[in-house]
Amino acid sequence: MNELLTLKSLGNFPLATSTILPILRDYRRPYDKINYWVKSGDLVQVKKGLYVLGQEISNQNPHPFLLANQIYGPSYVSLDSALSYFGLIPERVYQTSSVTTRISKIFKTPVGRFDYTQVKSNYFTMGIKNQGSTEAGFYLIASPEKAIWDKVVLTSGVIFRSKVEVRKFLEEDLRADEIGLAKMNLEIMKKWIPFSPKKTSLNLLIETLQEL
């Protein structure tokens, strides 16, 4: 139990095997101890090599965005998860969506569903923020501009041919907050055009946002 208290003292963070093993250095078979904790519910295995404390030890899981970064990386939180986080869409989101340079993948875990969409590396690096706090941990998330950008780029079937179609997408499909959209940095978005697919649609998006 002392070892579990030591884990708890580290804070409400995801626990990698490499974090747990030093605490079990006096055990001849530390992996057996980890497996015992999982079976007893003291640890919850999110995926191989990654755990969170069970409810008997801690009644709160790490922030899902922090988990998302660690479950599959390199990645950053984006799409509806980031749009909701920044108050740009009204819907509550029940899964965490991320963008990655690796193969697209979905993880269904005891602490939630996490999906990842693949993009090219030169596109990936644009518009990422380091968000969070020392107490809760830091995670990579799309800026508001990149989140709406990703939504257009990565949503199948979204092709704009006019600003009327852009407005319909923003107002009816996303029910996006117009005040938040009006605050976006359009100059930085213009710099992303050469590295992005759907250039015509993205130029129309910028032109529409300029009119807000």
* pLDDT of amino acid 38: 96
Query: Mean pLDDT, to the nearest integer, of 116-134?
Result: 95
Local confidence band at 110 (pLDDT 50, 70, 90 cut-offs): very high
* pLDDT of amino acid 12: 85
| Residue 91 falls in which region: left (phi positive, over 0), alpha (psi -120 to 50) or beta | beta
pLDDT at residue 93 above 90? no
Residue count (the chain): 212
| Residue 134 falls in which region: left (phi positive, over 0), alpha (psi -120 to 50) or beta | alpha
CB-based contact 77:141 (threshold 8 Å): yes
Using DSSP's 3-state secondary structure scheme, residue 130 falls into: strand
CA 158 to each of CA 22, 162, 168, 199, 201: distance values in angstroms, whole numbers, following the listed order:
49, 12, 11, 12, 8
* pLDDT of amino acid 146: 98
User: What is the per-residue pLDDT across 38-53, written as a single tens digit (0 to 9) for each?
Assistant: 999 999 999 999 999 9
Query: Mean pLDDT, to the nearest integer, of 162-191?
Result: 97
Residue type present at position 153: V
pLDDT over 90, % of the chain: 85
pLDDT at residue 64 above 70? yes
Mean pLDDT of the chain: 95
* pLDDT of amino acid 1: 60
Six-digit token pair at 155? 């949503």
* Cα–chain center distance at 179: 24
User: What is the per-residue pLDDT across 12-41, written as a single tens digit (0 to 9) for each?
Assistant: 899 999 999 999 998 999 999 999 999 999
Name the strands in the sheet holding 128-133, side by side, starting at the edge strand that comes first in the sequence: 105-109, 112-118, 96-100, 75-77, 137-142, 128-133
Contacts of 23 (CB under 8 A, 6+ apart): 3, 6, 7
Contacts of 79 (CB under 8 A, 6+ apart): 97, 98, 99, 117, 142, 147, 150, 151, 154
CB-based contact 138:75 (threshold 8 Å): no
pLDDT at residue 202 above 80? yes
pLDDT at residue 85 above 70? yes
